């Protein structure tokens, strides 16, 4: 086949794209800025993934191994792309290490950046040790340590998970919904209850967005089988009485103030656009959408096209995305690349 396909980012979408291409004998080069592959699920130490329940290190780790073992895929970690010139079928990428790579096309699988909870100071992160993020709880679970209060290592008896931290929040410039935090939080609540059966877990929400079959498998299951409690609330602040964390807000269904003590408060942090997106857009000559994600044309006939012919995009680089949809989009973008190259070949023949 033609020149290798450049894949920017070795997370779920990029790993799927590389595997698809390799399957049909098309070489690719994954350029990953971090020092190893796997993206957020591996680098941030996620525990069991939604919706399959596989451990991240097995599920995504297996995708990493498959790609690393494949002679069709070349991997450059700790590397970025500094220029990308040419046209479809005939691009040249300049890498940060001085190397040059010829490429028939590029697929941007550059993912997202976790919201930093210090940008929501009134909800206690950075002020109180026992206010943590979903990512930290994932790490507590995946490391085998278990869910413990960072301040003193005790098992929490009452945990609050606050949804939409860094999502659906115009005050801090993040209007979008991060799509999967509701379901991930329901899953996490069940994992906490499984490890600590005496612990009460509350989820504070605006709208519960456990879409599709997640409604049964996460929302209802967490309530009925695991006794997780859901409160529709507007949260004012997280403070402390010296002993417990205090979550203050208004229950928006019964229209009255609620003040509840907890041992641990978890921020269900959202997905920001990748902090590098402006650089990526400049290097690859592509457009970003209004929030700073990579703009996907999303024509149904050609998934993952960007504003520049020959440059495609997949996964959370396009906006908040689930892992399984990112993987499906990675495969789809690989096919769009091959379809585009084939059409070009037929045209020039």
Contacts to its own copies by CB under 8 A: 12, 16, 19-20, 23-24, 49, 51-52, 54, 59-60, 62-63, 66, 168, 175-179, 207-216, 220, 252-255, 289-291, 293, 297-301, 303, 319-321, 323-325, 327-329, 331-332, 334-336, 338-339, 342
Work out how close the CB of 20 gets to its own copies at its nearest, in angstroms, rounded to a whole number: 4
Q: Which is nearer to its own copies, 165 or 338 (CB)?
A: 338
Q: Which is nearer to its own copies, 152 or 256 (CB)?
A: 256
Helix, strand, or coil (residue 347): helix
Q: Is 24 exposed, middle or buried (0-12, 13-18, 19+ CB in 10 A)?
A: exposed
Q: Is 17 exposed, middle or buried (0-12, 13-18, 19+ CB in 10 A)?
A: buried
Nearest-angstrom CA–CA distance, 37 and 284: 21
Work out how close the CB of 64 gets to its own copies at its nearest, in angstroms, rounded to a whole number: 10
Nearest-angstrom CA–CA distance, 340 and 61: 30
Q: Which is nearer to its own copies, 158 or 209 (CB)?
A: 209
Q: Which is nearer to its own copies, 24 or 282 (CB)?
A: 24
Helix, strand, or coil (residue 216): helix
Work out how close the CB of 153 gets to its own copies at its nearest, in angstroms, rounded to a whole number: 33
Work out how close the CB of 228 gets to its own copies at its nearest, in angstroms, rounded to a whole number: 16
Work out how close the CB of 98 gets to its own copies at its nearest, in angstroms, rounded to a whole number: 34
Work out how close the CB of 14 gets to its own copies at its nearest, in angstroms, rounded to a whole number: 13
Helix, strand, or coil (residue 159): strand
- Give the residue ranges of DSSP H helices in 206-348: 214, 221-224, 277-284, 323-348
157's tokens? 């008896």
Q: Which is nearer to its own copies, 127 or 339 (CB)?
A: 339
Q: Which is nearer to its own copies, 1 or 236 (CB)?
A: 1
Contact status, residue 199 vs residue 193, Cβ threshold 8 Å = yes
Contact status, residue 340 vs residue 304, Cβ threshold 8 Å = no
Cα angle 284, 287, 291; round to 5: 125
């Amino acid at each position: 086949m033609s020149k290798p396909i450049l894949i920017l980012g070795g997370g779920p979408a990029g790993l799927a794209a590389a595997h698809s291409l390799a399957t049909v004998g098309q070489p690719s080069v994954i350029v990953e800025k971090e020092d190893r592959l796997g993206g957020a699920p591996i680098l941030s130490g996620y525990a069991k993934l939604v919706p399959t329940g596989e451990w991240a290190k097995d599920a995504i780790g297996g995708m990493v191994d498959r790609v690393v073992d494949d002679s069709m895929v070349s991997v450059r970690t700790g590397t970025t792309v500094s220029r990308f010139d040419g046209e479809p079928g005939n691009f040249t990428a300049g890498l940060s290490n001085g190397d040059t790579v010829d490429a028939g096309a590029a697929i941007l699988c550059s993912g997202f950046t976790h919201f930093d909870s210090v940008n929501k100071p009134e909800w206690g992160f950075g002020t109180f040790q026992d206010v943590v993020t979903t990512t930290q709880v994932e790490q507590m679970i995946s490391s085998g340590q278990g869910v413990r209060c960072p301040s003193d290592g005790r098992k929490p008896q009452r945990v609050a998970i606050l949804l939409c931290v860094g999502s659906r929040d115009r005050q801090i410039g993040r209007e979008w919904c991060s799509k999967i935090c509701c379901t991930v939080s329901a899953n996490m609540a069940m994992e906490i209850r499984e490890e600590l059966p005496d612990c009460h877990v509350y989820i504070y929400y605006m709208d519960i967005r456990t879409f599709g079959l997640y409604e049964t498998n996460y929302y209802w299951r967490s309530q009925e089988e695991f006794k997780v409690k859901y409160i529709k609330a507007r949260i004012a602040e997280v403070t402390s009485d010296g002993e417990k964390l205090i979550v203050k807000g208004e229950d928006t269904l019964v229209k009255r103030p609620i003040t509840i003590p907890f041992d641990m408060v978890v921020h269900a942090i959202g997905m920001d656009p990748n902090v590098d997106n402006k650089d990526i857009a400049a290097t690859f000559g592509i457009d970003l959408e209004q929030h700073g994600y990579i703009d996907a044309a999303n024509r149904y006939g050609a998934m993952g096209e960007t504003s520049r012919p020959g440059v495609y995009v997949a996964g959370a680089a396009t906006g908040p995305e689930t892992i399984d949809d990112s993987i499906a989009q990675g495969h789809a973008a690989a096919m769009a690349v091959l379809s585009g190259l084939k059409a070009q070949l037929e045209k020039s023949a």
